[in-house]
Structure 1
Amino acid sequence: MVFKNIKKSEKLYVRIAEEINQLIERGDLQVNDKLPPEREIAAQMGVSRPSVREALAILEVLGVVEIKVGDGSYVKGRAHNFRLEMESLKNSSPFELVEARHYIESLVVTLAVERATEDDLTEMQETIDWMREHMADLDVDEFVLKGLHFHRLLARSINNEVLQSIAESLFQMDHHPLWGFLNKKALVSMEAKQHQIKEHEEILAAIRNKDQIQASKAMQHHISHLQDLFLT
């Protein structure tokens, strides 16, 4: 099969997803067929692998494909009204969101070094401790929500309502359903949960030590690791 070269006239990952769905509608791809590797799709369409990964994530949310870790992506069906169903996802790009969080939260954490009170730090520590204590009992939805609570507490600690509001908008999973889906999928394993808790601890330690440079590095590492999880 041949994938069309995609013109960059709109959200790239949406066009990629639509093109794959159209191949299924035309019968070029059948149920249970395995899609070509992401790198091959990206090369044929003239796009990046992250854009293909976002497109496949959309199609998995819509029930069009199933992504099997370490194996590949398989056709499950098709979206009967792709554009209408896309509206339910609010066209939010996980990678754009991660990029925004990278810059906004790096600023937030440097301000937290200066402004977070002992009560703020205690509350953040209690959240981390609770996540560790209940890690094995929590389902992935609860774990993700508790992790986001840590970031909300961090944003609240800087005592700037404008920045807090901007940061809060990045944590609303109902506003970013595709990001929420990828986030949950990335944190299914116990190892991934443990690693996220460790990263939160490193951020909090840097704040306690009044080390703005290390706090910013720890946050950037945390956000970059999240993106890496999306790409694996």
Structure 2
Amino acid sequence: MAVVQRETAYQQSLDWLRERIECGDWAVGDRIPTEPDLMTALGVGRNTVREAIKTLTSTGILEIRRGSGTFVRARTDIGGLLGRAVDPAELLHVFEVRRALEVEAITLACDRRTTDDLARMRASLAGRDAAGTDETAFAHHDLEFHLAIVAAAHNPVLTDLIGALLEPMRATYAFTEGVHSHDLAADQHRAALHAVDARDSDAAIAAARGYLDLTLDAVHIRTRQGR
């Protein structure tokens, strides 16, 4: 059954696709239905479907993977735009945005964290400490620690924004590898956990700024080196 009227087919198709993504029918990482399926669902032609998909691709919400289909990359336009910037020239700008979001996240986490949130943070921090020189394991557990703090803020919009930054966040580990030792910020990560546990927002912000500033310093160094 058609869900749009012909005279506004493009706009209504675009709105319908956005709604499916924003309401969670299609989650980030999901492949959306094929063009023929969308044509049937919407009651519009192939060109209308393609134009709507093209618009959402241009803002980073959707990603076309040749041979695999079209996938949801972000839930909102702002998330898509943030998530696209992974070039080294843009990595510094993206990290500055990430830093601002994470400082706010840890502030909220001090008020809203649950025992489950603390358990997730402890587990990821233990994995980070145990990773040693294994760069892959370190990156996995360190990122999980940061995501656990964001989750503890219990703000779905903040979670969406950080989720949209996952690709450049992962790229940061490879970009800054070898600049600072893993142990350099270990105490600050532990201090962040303790501060969130104690609901001490001042200490939490200080700890977060400490380890984030070390990463920002590493990004600056690599950027100057032209890596």
1:95 to 87, 92, 95: 92
Q: Is the 8 A contact 2:127 2:138 kept in 1?
A: no
Q: How does 1:30-69 map to 2 (within 5 A)?
A: none
Match of 1:186 among 163, 179, 188: 179
User: Which residue in 1 is equivalent to 2:195?
Assistant: 206
CA distance in 2 between counterparts of 1:224 and 1:165 reads: 23
Alignment deviations for residues 174-201 of structure 1 (CA, whole Å, 9 cap, x no partner): x874x343233435xxxx1112332211
Matches within 5 A, 1:137-216: 138=134, 140-173=135-168, 177=171, 179-186=172-179, 192-216=181-205
Offset of residue 90 of structure 1: 4.5
Aligned-residue offset at 1:210: 1.0
- Report the 3-state secondary structure (helix = DSSP H, G, I; strand = E; otherwise coil) of the residue aligned with 1:146: helix
> Shift of the alpha carbon at 1:92?
5.6
CA apart distance, 1:229: 2.3
**Cα separation, partners in 2 of 1:156 and 1:95, compared to 1, 3 Å:** same
Q: In the TM superposition, what is the alpha-carbon distance from 1:91 to its structure 2 partner?
A: 6.5
**Alignment match, 1:116:** 113
Name 1:61's counterpart in structure 2.
none
Following superposition, the deviation at residue 153 of structure 1 comes to 1.1
The answer to whether 1:227 aligns with 2:216 is yes
Using the TM superposition, give the Cα deviation of residue 111 of structure 1 relative to its aligned residue in structure 2, in angstroms.
0.4
Separation in 2, partners of 1:88, 1:216: 26
User: Do the aligned partners of residues 163 and 88 (structure 1) sit closer, same or farther apart at CA in structure 2, a change above 3 Å counting?
Assistant: closer
Change over 3 Å in CA distance of 1:93–1:118 after alignment to 2: same
Given residue 149 of structure 1, which amino acid in structure 2 is its aligned partner? E
The whole-number CA distance in structure 2 between the counterparts of 1:125 and 1:223 is: 19
CA distance in 2, matches of 1:97, 1:206: 26
Relative to its length, the structure with more helix (as a share) is 2
In 2, Cα distance between equivalents of 1:218 and 1:94: 22
For residue 106 of structure 1, the aligned residue among 103, 127, 139 is: 103
- 2-side partners of 1:110 and 1:152: how far apart? 14
CA RMSD of aligned residues (A): 2.5
Distance change in 2, residues 1:222/1:160 (3 Å): same
Counterparts of 1:112 and 1:213 in 2: how far apart (Å)? 12
Q: Secondary structure at the match of 2:154?
A: coil
SS in 2 for 1:200: helix
- Which consecutive residues of structure 2, in runs of 5 or more, have no partner in the other structure? 1-83, 222-227
TM-score relative to the length of structure 2: 0.54
Q: Look up the match of 1:4.
A: none
CA distance in 2, matches of 1:88, 1:195: 27
1:129 aligns with 2:126: yes
Residue 113 of structure 1 contacts residue 208 of structure 1 at CA under 8 Å; is this kept in 2? yes
Which deviations, in whole Å up to 9, do the C-alpha atoms of 1:154-213 show, x marking residues without a partner? Answer: 11112211101111222324x874x343233435xxxx1112332211111111121111
TM-score (norm 1): 0.53
Distance 1:132 1:176 in 2: 18
Cα 1:126–1:88 change in 2 (3 A) is: closer
Q: CA, structure 1 residues 90+194, in 2 after alignment: closer, same or farther (shift >3 Å)? A: closer
The letter of the residue matching 1:161 is: P
In the aligned structure 2, how far is the partner of 1:95 from the partner of 1:199? 22
Which residue identity is paired with 1:109?
Answer: I
